[in-house]
A = this chain, B = another copy of it.
């Protein structure tokens, strides 16, 4: 039978197996030069391919071609320690089968025979219970009767059961499996050892997934640790202590790229987790020293044994990930490059600029910035502003590289425009930065409230930075210095995550930011996160990041709002703005405001999407004039259901009243009166910006009070909802959230407060005992 997988074809030809590289290979052979279509003997290829180093980075894990998956018994048994976690097991089989079909060569090392066997033996035990015992109300199948059973007997019973389960499951995906049982002496006897690896190679080339287990029926599950030299190899072996070391040995011997060890813990810690400051490691490099003592609940091997096995395998060129098997789709997630579990690599560079470290540095950097005088902070921004002009050649050169690649990739014109920098753009940017610097003196440490609580006891509420911000921005590289300047002006730490398309420009600009920060000794306060980092990983760093600001399409914002579970997101996903033309609207003003609200810049979030018209206007000239004006401007009109029902030949009906057209397109609906308009706005709006046009002051007042949106306007175009127009200086974003900042947000949105209390020796008890009295006297701020 011939089997196609992942673009490579294994031809079974007269007993010799050959590899053909057919192109479109999803999993390119690293380090081997094979011409397309040329047949290569497997052995040649294998030795040519032999990597000397592990993958340097998680993003490379998708290239893993030979994969060992080790399942601890904690993964196979349920949380109660007795039953089998069939759902989890089946899901792992599903993922291994998928990897297999993608062209990866998979080997499973599995525990679980004892658990399976126990289940069966318990049942037998039940059959031999007395009548009285059986009639008692407790459920014997759930009790720990099983624990008294001999694990060797249980293993003997369970192994066949386990394999038949694997067989049944894998056969659903057309994957053939084979059972390989090993004991320790198999590795020490040269012949059995050789046989074993030959068998495994043979099975793999036959496109079969070997399922390996220690032969628990003949040997106790826990072996004696032994680091002696493996006979016939001259190499120092890893003692086959348990399935952890077995999987490491196998992975190294068969030259696997990746070993995934699944247990019931999330990964390893840089200290035992009960110690202060312990944290999960996402990447463990060979240079690092860790202490560990984390024991998993079930299973023979603790975390020590896993880490030993992993480092042993890593030293032999196998990348290892230790992860929690309880996590859904762990294998696929790991291969996709997400930060699940701990990744073992011998590439040392990775850990120093890991995001965790960057974020911690950003927090420290923020504290350094905070302690600077406002003049020093402003001077750093001025330095950056000057560097933008002085080093423009370097910036534009980098920008050109991005533009070239984008052009090659066939990127659309508007995106190219956003991506491109010019001498003029940099000049304007530089001027903007100087403005941010000049208005920054009062940002941090401003007193907002001052109260004399009692004699000699004064409380001040002062502004302080929020902490560490994560700004995610698309295409526009000019965002980078702007956001960096805002962070400096507010003494915040900052992580920046830019798009791939602007990678060169961002890198060049970041160098200037670092240079300007270094001038005040706060180099680490701002960092550029690698484009390889997964956004979803960043969004789960709630211990390190205090606020996320996505700057880009509403698609991006919506996505991030949805994914971020514990870090607040500043922004708005939708701008469904309404203009309501009241009964008492001035027709000239109405025409003027509607035109501006819709046509000035239709793609903006503060452009009008729905026009609400008082029913008295429908039969008058205002409605006709508005429609004619909109038509003339090229605006496509949709009618709301009420308007549709009133007109014989009206515009086509709107599919929904809750839609952001973001183009020369809008919806018109008729309303009975102002209250009806307000109801409509509350029902279909996005609480962004809503406008009333009326000459009736009391109607206007009621509208302004009642409409529950971030911005509510009277006789003004909705387009004024903007930080610059509001006089807030540089705009951080527009927020439709109700907590923290709302509406257009300036630097103030990057600040929070702290309370400073100064006394002489005040204690709470003195006030309880009436030895001192409360004054609570409001003091002037200056």
Query: A residues near B, CB below 8 A?
Result: 1-2, 4-5, 7, 9, 22-24, 78, 83-94, 101, 116, 119, 123, 127, 131, 134-142, 161, 164-165, 168-169, 172-174, 274-277, 328, 367, 370-371, 445, 451, 453, 457, 459, 464, 466-467, 546-547, 561, 565-566, 568, 586, 588-589, 592-593, 595-596, 600-601, 655-658, 682-684, 700, 702, 704-706, 708-717, 719-721, 725-727, 738-740, 742-744, 752-765, 767-768, 774, 776
Q: Pick the contact of A87 from B9, B88, B711, B754 — CB < 8 Å? A: B88
New A-B pairs, 5, CB < 8 Å, besides A367-B682, A589-B761, A742-B753: A276-B658, A464-B708, A712-B754, A716-B759, A720-B764
**Are B274 and A709 neighbours in the complex by a CB distance under 8 Å?**
no
A92 surroundings in chain B (CB, below 8 A): 87
What CA separation (Å) do A457 and B725 show in the bound complex?
Answer: 11
**Are A738 and B135 neighbours in the complex by a CB distance under 8 Å?**
no
Whether A2 touches B119, Cβ cut-off 8 Å, given contacts A596-B764, A600-B765, A763-B593, is no
**Are A709 and B754 neighbours in the complex by a CB distance under 8 Å?**
yes
Q: Smallest Cβ distance from A693 to chain B, in angstroms?
A: 9
What CA separation (Å) do A714 and B765 show in the bound complex?
Answer: 17
State the number of copies, please. 2
A714 surroundings in chain B (CB, below 8 A): 756-759
What CA separation (Å) do A9 and B139 show in the bound complex?
Answer: 11
**Are B173 and A83 neighbours in the complex by a CB distance under 8 Å?**
yes
**Are B589 and A174 neighbours in the complex by a CB distance under 8 Å?**
no
Chain B CB within 10 Å, residue with most, of A172, A658, A712, A714: A172
**Are A761 and B706 neighbours in the complex by a CB distance under 8 Å?**
no
**Are B137 and A23 neighbours in the complex by a CB distance under 8 Å?**
yes
Q: Smallest Cβ distance from A745 to chain B, in angstroms?
A: 11
Q: Pick the contact of A754 from B5, B140, B710, B719 — CB < 8 Å? A: B710
Chain B CB within 10 Å, residue with most, of A161, A466, A717: A717
**Are B276 and A657 neighbours in the complex by a CB distance under 8 Å?**
yes
**Are A757 and B713 neighbours in the complex by a CB distance under 8 Å?**
yes
**Are A765 and B596 neighbours in the complex by a CB distance under 8 Å?**
yes
What CA separation (Å) do A1 and B126 show in the bound complex?
Answer: 10
Listed from nearest, the 3 A-B pairs whose CB atoms lie closest are: A87-B91, A596-B763, A90-B90
A138 surroundings in chain B (CB, below 8 A): 4
A712 surroundings in chain B (CB, below 8 A): 754-757
What CA separation (Å) do A33 and B216 show in the bound complex?
Answer: 53
A546 surroundings in chain B (CB, below 8 A): 738-739
What CA separation (Å) do A123 and B738 show in the bound complex?
Answer: 56
A172 surroundings in chain B (CB, below 8 A): 84, 86, 116, 119, 161, 165
What CA separation (Å) do A142 and B26 show in the bound complex?
Answer: 16
Whether A139 touches B4, Cβ cut-off 8 Å, given contacts A93-B86, A168-B168, A725-B453, is yes
Q: Pick the contact of A101 from B139, B445, B713 — CB < 8 Å? A: B139
**Are A727 and B451 neighbours in the complex by a CB distance under 8 Å?**
yes
Q: Which residue of B lies closest to A277 (CB)?
A: B683
A140 surroundings in chain B (CB, below 8 A): 4
Whether A715 touches B568, Cβ cut-off 8 Å, given contacts A86-B172, A87-B88, is no
What CA separation (Å) do A123 and B174 show in the bound complex?
Answer: 8
What CA separation (Å) do A285 and B128 show in the bound complex?
Answer: 50
**Are B764 and A717 neighbours in the complex by a CB distance under 8 Å?**
yes
A655 surroundings in chain B (CB, below 8 A): 274
Q: Pick the contact of A328 from B7, B328, B705 — CB < 8 Å? A: B328
Whether A600 touches B565, Cβ cut-off 8 Å, given contacts A86-B172, A90-B87, is no
Whether A656 touches B275, Cβ cut-off 8 Å, given contacts A168-B165, A566-B565, A715-B761, is yes
Q: Smallest Cβ distance from A780 to chain B, in angstroms?
A: 15
A78 surroundings in chain B (CB, below 8 A): 94
A370 surroundings in chain B (CB, below 8 A): 705-706, 708
Q: Smallest Cβ distance from A764 to chain B, in angstroms?
A: 4
What CA separation (Å) do A756 and B705 show in the bound complex?
Answer: 9
**Are B23 and A716 neighbours in the complex by a CB distance under 8 Å?**
no
Q: Which residue of B lies closest to A729 (CB)?
A: B776
**Are B593 and A739 neighbours in the complex by a CB distance under 8 Å?**
no
Q: Smallest Cβ distance from A194 to chain B, in angstroms?
A: 34
What CA separation (Å) do A658 and B172 show in the bound complex?
Answer: 51
**Are B739 and A740 neighbours in the complex by a CB distance under 8 Å?**
yes
**Are A568 and B276 neighbours in the complex by a CB distance under 8 Å?**
no
Chain B CB within 10 Å, residue with most, of A131, A547, A561, A753: A753
Chain B CB within 10 Å, residue with most, of A5, A561, A755: A755
**Are B754 and A711 neighbours in the complex by a CB distance under 8 Å?**
yes
Q: Pick the contact of A86 from B90, B702, B742 — CB < 8 Å? A: B90
**Are B764 and A600 neighbours in the complex by a CB distance under 8 Å?**
yes
**Are A758 and B90 neighbours in the complex by a CB distance under 8 Å?**
no
Q: Which residue of B lies closest to A119 (CB)?
A: B172
What CA separation (Å) do A600 and B588 show in the bound complex?
Answer: 70
Q: Smallest Cβ distance from A715 to chain B, in angstroms?
A: 5
**Are A754 and B743 neighbours in the complex by a CB distance under 8 Å?**
yes
**Are B22 and A739 neighbours in the complex by a CB distance under 8 Å?**
no
A136 surroundings in chain B (CB, below 8 A): 4
What CA separation (Å) do A169 and B744 show in the bound complex?
Answer: 57
A592 surroundings in chain B (CB, below 8 A): 761, 763
Q: Which residue of B lies closest to A364 (CB)?
A: B682
A86 surroundings in chain B (CB, below 8 A): 90-91, 93-94, 169, 172-173
Q: Pick the contact of A139 from B5, B142, B467, B721 — CB < 8 Å? A: B5
What CA separation (Å) do A464 and B711 show in the bound complex?
Answer: 12
**Are B762 and A2 neighbours in the complex by a CB distance under 8 Å?**
no
**Are B761 and A586 neighbours in the complex by a CB distance under 8 Å?**
yes
Q: Smallest Cβ distance from A425 to chain B, in angstroms?
A: 19
Whether A756 touches B704, Cβ cut-off 8 Å, given contacts A600-B764, A726-B453, A765-B596, is yes
What CA separation (Å) do A675 and B467 show in the bound complex?
Answer: 19
**Are B87 and A726 neighbours in the complex by a CB distance under 8 Å?**
no
Q: What are 26 contact pairs spanning A and B, CB under 8 A?
A: A2-B135, A4-B139, A7-B137, A86-B94, A116-B172, A119-B172, A276-B656, A276-B684, A370-B706, A371-B702, A445-B705, A453-B725, A586-B761, A592-B763, A600-B763, A600-B764, A600-B768, A704-B756, A712-B757, A717-B763, A720-B757, A725-B764, A739-B739, A742-B753, A742-B755, A743-B753
**Are A720 and B568 neighbours in the complex by a CB distance under 8 Å?**
no
**Are A762 and B715 neighbours in the complex by a CB distance under 8 Å?**
yes
**Are A568 and B739 neighbours in the complex by a CB distance under 8 Å?**
yes
Q: Which residue of B lies closest to A2 (CB)?
A: B134
